[in-house]
Structures are given as structure tokens and as C-alpha cells.
Amino acid sequence: MRARRLTRLGLRMLMAWMIALLWGCASPGPVYRNSDGQVVDKPWSEVMAWLLQAWYQGLPPPPGRHLQGGQFPVIRDPEVGRDLPVDQLAVTWLGHASTLIRVGGQRILTDPQFSLRASPLSWAGTARSVPNPYALHELGHIDLVLISHNHYDHLDEASVLALSRQPGGSPQFIVPQGLETWFQSRGMGRVQSLGWWQSAEFGPLQVQAVPASHWSARGLSDHNKSHWAGWVLRAGERSVYFAGDTAYSDDFKAIRDRVGAVELALLPVGAYEPRTFMKDQHVNPDEAVKIHQDVGARLSIGIHWGTFELSDEPLDAPMATLPAARARAGLPDDAFQLLRHGETRLLPKEPMASD
């Protein structure tokens, strides 16, 4: 037990050292910023203090308090590979920020992460705690992939390469500004980048990039060299907002003002403790509820939880903290929900009348 904790501390220290290098060795040239003009920047001392304190306190505690049998249930939906009529909308949670959206007769993936680890190393780093509910081929032909930013828990090289080689041809990848070269240099040519508020048409779909408050880095010299974004997807009367990774900010009221209320919002609810360290990059459930209200979502589904242990709260914490946040805000239980891994939610056929 002690050896495991020491190993985990060692690996976290290694990651912290790499983060420190990222911030210390950023190459010259322009960097992308949040909408308030700020960049997220954590001093090395703060990263180390967090990791040491988490280790000393044995954080995060193992999940299980809110799970029957101590395990996350994994759903195998036999219909997940089936095409839906063009006027229907369904979302399947695949774990973490990966979802399958079926709308407009198209199949769209958000931040596909199907690998064992969310890490630059195949042999070390944060391993998934819950298996993938589906093999890639079970999800059917993917038409479009939306990437929020380049962190390893959102942009997984093996997953996007596998998608680019799917039978029937590569999906269209849509990425934030500056990230297209990463795809092109790996031979993935069906990629288009969009700056915040820009939009593009893909068959029956309209895709629009919207702001988020976060940061980016994968290597030693690319800190904030590519942008981060949320995405609003429209097909006819139906609309979906995928927030990616974000802190709370005024961006969400601006999104409502510029794109109107959305039908379905996929909002992060995990990896939020300790707040002193995480509040500049990840919302907690109370802030996710505020985003739900700001963007005028009819239904929100919590993502970015329950799969990769990235922070100090237990992996199953949102099962208790999201309902509490929802109740504090006076939201009905069915307005903002969590799905089980692999579970599909089919939205009622009539899109909501947006106000």
C-alpha cells in the first residue's frame, strides 16, 4: 500500500516536473489566451505543494461511496451502432469527455479517448479506472470528430489515428486554432481549425467554435501554442453545446447572447479539487450548474468525471456533489444528469422552443 502511494507520488512528481518544464521552456512567439486576456500559469512551487499535500493526505480517496458494489456500472447499449432518423438527437457517454452524438443523421465524437492512459507515456501516467464500454467499430462510421484542446485526456493520438483509418475513410476533424498542424504532421489531412465564434458547415451540420477558459500543452515547447474551445453543433432545429475543459467565466453568458439557448449541453463536472489549484482551469458542479443556466440548456449531461483520476476528489464524487449543486440552484432533477458509462440518452423528438 505504502509502495503504491510512493509510486503514485513519484509519477505525479514526474508529471509536475514536466509541467514545470512546459512553463519554463515555452518557445517564443504568440500564445493563445482566455477571453479576459489572461493565461493560466501555476508556479512550480504551487504544483509541488499540491502534490505533496495530496500524497500526505492520501488523496484522492478511492471511489465507491456512491457506487453499488464499489464499481462503476458499464452499460452495453445494443443500439449504439444504429443510425437514427435525421430529426432525432441522442448522446452516449463513452467515459470522461468522450461522447457519441447522433444528430442530423450524422455520428459525431467529442474528444475521443479510448486508450489505457491519458499520458504522454504508454507505460506510466494516469490510467483509466473504467474500461471502454465499446470498441471503436461498434460505434459505426464516425462522420465528424470535435476536439476541445490538446491535453492528453482530450486528444489521444492512438484514438484519433484509429479513427482516421476507420473503414470507409477518415472522419472530418474539427479543432481549435493552431491544432491543425498536429493532425497534418501525423498524416491526418481531413482537419479544419476554427477560431472562437467562427463556424463551418459539414453536410447537414453547422459547427461553431465558442470560448472556454483553459490552457494547452502536450510537449516541452508548446504551452498555449494552440487554442482551446467549446463547440456548438446544430442540425436543423436541434443544437448541442460541448464545453470541453473550462473554468467558470463570463464566456457562457456571451455564448447564450451570440448563439441562443441550446437544447443539450455536455458540461464538465469532475477534476475540480483542490479549488485553489483547479479553479482557473476546471469548474466544479456548482459552476457547471451556473453554465447550464447561462447557456439556457434544456438538458445538461455531466462529463469529464468517473474515468481518469486527475484531482483530489474521489472519481465518483460528482454522483453526490452534482445533485447537491442542482438542489442549491433550485433546478429540477431531470435538468442536469449523469449517465452511466456507455449509457445513451435519446432526447424527445420535438426540439425545445428557445426563449
Rounded Cα distance, 78 and 140, in Å:
12
Which positions from 80 through 139 interact with Zn ion, judged by CB under 5 A? none
At closest approach, how far in Å is the CB of 140 from Zn ion? 26
CA–CA distance from 114 to each of 131, 136, 233, 320 (Å)?
A: 9, 8, 23, 26
**Which residue number, 107 or 151, has a Cβ lying nearer to Zn ion?**
151
Residue with smallest beta-carbon separation from Zn ion:
151
Which range in 148-156, 162-170, 189-197, 319-327 contacts Zn ion by CB under 5 A? 148-156
Nearer to Zn ion, 212 or 233 (CB): 212
CB of 1 to Zn ion, least distance (A): 28
- Give min distance, CB of 105 to Zn ion, in A: 30
User: Please, which residue, 21 or 335, has the CB nearer to Zn ion?
Assistant: 21
- Of 7-15, 153-161, 247-255, 322-330, the segment contacting Zn ion by CB under 5 A is 153-161
Biggest distance spanned by C-alpha atoms of the chain:
57
How far is Cα 77 from Cα 138, in angstroms, rounded to an integer?
Answer: 10
To Zn ion, the closest distance from the beta carbon of 111 in angstroms equals 8
Phi, psi of 287 (to 5 degrees): -75, -35
Q: Which three cell numbers stand for residue 243?
A: 464545453
CB-wise, 245 or 313, nearer to Zn ion?
Answer: 245
Pick the piece of the chain touching Zn ion (CB under 5 A) from 130-138, 145-153, 192-200, 288-296: 145-153
Scanning 58-66, 106-114, 152-160, 346-354 for contacts with Zn ion by CB under 5 A, the matching segment is: 152-160
Shortest reach from residue 144's CB to Zn ion, in Å: 21
| Cis check: omega of the bond before 332, within 30 degrees of 0 | no
Q: Which is nearer to Zn ion, 153 or 287 (CB)?
A: 153
- Cell output for 154: 482530450
> Using CA atoms, how far apart are residues 30 and 228, in angstroms rounded to an integer?
15
> Out of 151, 223, 292, 341, which residue is the one contacting Zn ion (CB under 5 A)?
151
Q: How far is the CB of 247 from Zn ion (least distance, A)?
A: 10
Is the CB of residue 269 less than 8 Å from the CB of residue 322?
yes
Beta strands in the chain (DSSP E): 89-95, 98-103, 106-110, 117-118, 126-127, 144-146, 172-176, 191-194, 199-202, 205-210, 230-235, 238-242, 264-268, 299-303, 336-337, 344-346
Q: Which is nearer to Zn ion, 245 or 263 (CB)?
A: 245
Contact region for Zn ion (CB under 5 A) — 39-47, 61-69, 72-80, 151-159?
A: 151-159
Residue in the block written with cell 470498441: 135
- Among 21-29, 37-45, 146-154, 231-239, which window interacts with Zn ion (CB under 5 A)? 146-154
Q: Where are the beta strands (DSSP E) in 260-349?
A: 264-268, 299-303, 336-337, 344-346
Contact with Zn ion (CB under 5 A) among 93, 114, 126, 153: 153
153 versus 273: smaller Cβ distance to Zn ion: 153
DSSP 159-202: HHHHHHTSTT-PPEEEEETT-HHHHHTTT---EEEE-TT-EEEE
Closest CA to 175 of 161, 157, 189, 194: 194
DSSP three-state, residue 275: helix
Question: Which listed residue (245, 309, 313, 343) binds Zn ion by CB under 5 A?
Answer: 245
Choices 156-164, 171-179, 241-249, 253-261 (CB under 5 A): range interacting with Zn ion? 241-249
The reply to whether 313 sits near Zn ion by the rule CB under 5 A is no
As given in the structure block, the three cell numbers for residue 62 are: 478511492
Minimum distance of Zn ion from residue 149's CB (angstroms): 6
Site residues for Zn ion per CB under 5 A = 151, 153, 245
